[in-house]
Structure 1
């Protein structure tokens, strides 16, 4: 996937995941984009693991199912970040 598609997918998935996840998440547009890209990697890897049984680093594609997977991955990334940073989501 080219860099423009990564940025678009990151912005879409990160913004929707931040809107869905309860509590307040700091950060600007760059943080949202990185969160979405990490979410696409997490989601794509989990889907590949479930489909093939292999743990392989794969990113979600820029499509409707890919965006949904990236959003779910971004929600997992927010949860893990809050868990590691010791923040409560109020």
Structure 2
């Protein structure tokens, strides 16, 4: 169980960091937010992969296609966050 949690954190960090490198511009988010970005992106990428290919990850936790899907999902989540989530203006 502990290995699974550590694996999720490491994959989240790698996917989040790669997403931040791929998306142009500066993103002012912390390391913890990068890990959360990668974890959420992993779920998004897995869901989209299931919708497109109708297959589930039954062959193990770490697979190259799963990591690629995690990065793609993290890029999608980061672009959506930059578009809608980081509003610094005061709304009245």
TM-score normalised over the length of structure 1: 0.80
CA distance in 2, matches of 1:4, 1:86: 29
Q: Which residue matches 2:54? A: 52
Once residues 5 and 25 of structure 1 are traced to their aligned partners in structure 2, the CA distance between those partners, rounded to angstroms, is 25
Runs (5+) with no aligned partner, structure 1: 54-60
Q: Matches of 1:2 and 1:15 in 2, distance apart?
A: 20
Q: Secondary structure at the match of 1:2?
A: helix
- Distance (whole Å) between structure 2 residues aligned to residue 29 and residue 42 of structure 1: 20
What is the rounded CA distance, in whole Å, between the counterparts of 2:18 and 2:86 in structure 1?
Answer: 23
Q: Distance in 2 between matches of 1:43 and 1:37?
A: 10
CA distance in 2, matches of 1:43, 1:22: 20
Q: Which has the larger radius of gyration?
A: 2
**Over the residues paired in the alignment, what is the CA RMSD in angstroms?**
2.1
Aligned length: 81
SS for the counterpart of 1:23 is coil
Q: Which ranges in structure 2 are unaligned for 5 or more consecutive residues?
A: 56-60, 88-92
For 2:85 and 2:41, the matched residues in 1 are separated by 17
Matched with 1:26 is 28
What is the CA distance between 1:86 and its match in structure 2? Answer: 5.5
